[in-house]
Chain A
Amino acid sequence: MDGLTAAESRELDQRLQKRQVKEFMSVFGNLVDNCFTACVDDFTSKALSGRESGCISRCVLKSMSTQTRLGERFGELNAAMTAEMQRR
């Protein structure tokens, strides 16, 4: 594939930015769903209990660490896979 012109590059960047925003919203949504499901199970009250609150905080921290770590592994593995496919 030929390279992209400056205008095409700009268009691509715009699309990618839009995609990144969508991606973030999706990650955020999954985080809420995941941590809520894991941590919240006491419906004797409308307000989050201290236990539930603490759990959610830890869930967020752990989820972010997980994203970071898997992001690194994914990058390495994807690069290796791409290289292997080109070699074949």
Chain B
Amino acid sequence: MFGLGRPQPTSAEKIAAVENELKVVAEMHSRMVKICTLKCIDKTYREGDLSKGESVCLDRCAAKFFETHQKISDQLQKETQARGGGGFGM
């Protein structure tokens, strides 16, 4: 990539790009924690430690969350292309 005729990203743009990527990742993390807590953790809080069942549930929840993310990403891309790339304007 020689960037011929294409302006280099400014300082602000480069910094914003990194920060934005981290923001996206952090948001995904936060959503995952919220949802998996809801799905796996016993709300009566009778114990302060994670039970074995809860721990295993959390691991599986995280894995399925990521798989769901990927699956939807792939399907959305496919559907958007099939519908003439209009749709979400992506």
Which positions in A face B, CB cutoff 8 Å? 1-2, 4-5, 7-8, 11-12, 15-16, 19, 23, 26, 30, 34-35, 38-39, 55-59, 61-63, 65-67, 69-71, 73-74, 77-78, 80-81, 84
CA distance A2 to B2 in the complex (A): 12
- What residues on B are CB-neighbors of A15 within 8 Å? 15, 19
Q: Chain B, interface size: which category?
A: 35 or more
Q: Which of chain B's residues 1-43 have a Cβ closer than 8 Å to chain A?
A: 8-9, 11, 14-15, 17-19, 22-23, 25-26, 28-30, 32-34, 36-37, 41, 43
Closest partner residue, chain B, to A38 (CB atom): B43
- What residues on A are CB-neighbors of B17 within 8 Å? 1
Interface of B is mostly: helix
Query: Do A55 and B45 form a contact, CB below 8 Å, given A69-B59, A74-B29, A81-B70?
Result: yes
- What residues on A are CB-neighbors of B19 within 8 Å? 12, 15-16, 19
Picked from A59, A69, A81, the residue with its CB within 8 Å of the CB of B55 is A69
Asked whether, in the complex, the Cβ of A8 is within 8 Å of the Cβ of B14, the reply is yes
Asked whether, in the complex, the Cβ of A70 is within 8 Å of the Cβ of B32, the reply is yes
